[in-house]
Amino acid sequence: MSFSSTPLSTQGRIYTLETELGHGKYSVVYLGQQKSTTLNSQKYAIKIPHIEAPRKLRQNLITFEAEFFQQLNHPNFIKYIDHGLDIRTPYLVMDIVPETIDDKIKN
C-alpha cells in the first residue's frame, strides 16, 4: 500500500487505512475508519481494486458495486457505507463482516 488515507469520497469523507484484512485476485480490503472524526471510531472495510485495467474501468467496477449494495437492505448482505471515484484510487467502504462463513461452520 503506497498511501495511508483515501482520496475524498462521494460523501465528502476521507478514510484512513490501517491494516490489510484480506485480498483476492481483483482487490485488497483494508481495515479503516473515517479520518478526523474523533467521536466516531467505527471501523470499516475499505475495498480497493488492484487489477491492471484502464482507470475508467476500475471506476466503473466500483460504481457498479456501490449501486448494487446501495439497493440491498438484507441482514445477509454487507451494508454499503460510502465510495470514492478518484481516478487513481477508486474504493468502496462497507461494514465489516463480523465472522466468515468458515467461522460460522466451525461454531
Residue 32 has what pLDDT? 92
pTM reported for the whole predicted model: 0.81
Task: Give CA–CA dist 75/64, Å, rounded.
Answer: 21
Give 37-73 pLDDT, tens digit per residue.
556 678 999 999 887 777 888 888 889 999 998 998 8
Residue 66 has what pLDDT? 92
**Strands of the sheet with 43-49, listed across from one edge:** 15-23, 27-34, 43-49, 90-94, 80-85
Task: Give CA–CA dist 24/21, Å, rounded.
Answer: 11
- Pairing relation of β-strands 80-85 and 43-49? unpaired
Residue 8 has what pLDDT? 85
Residue 31 has what pLDDT? 93
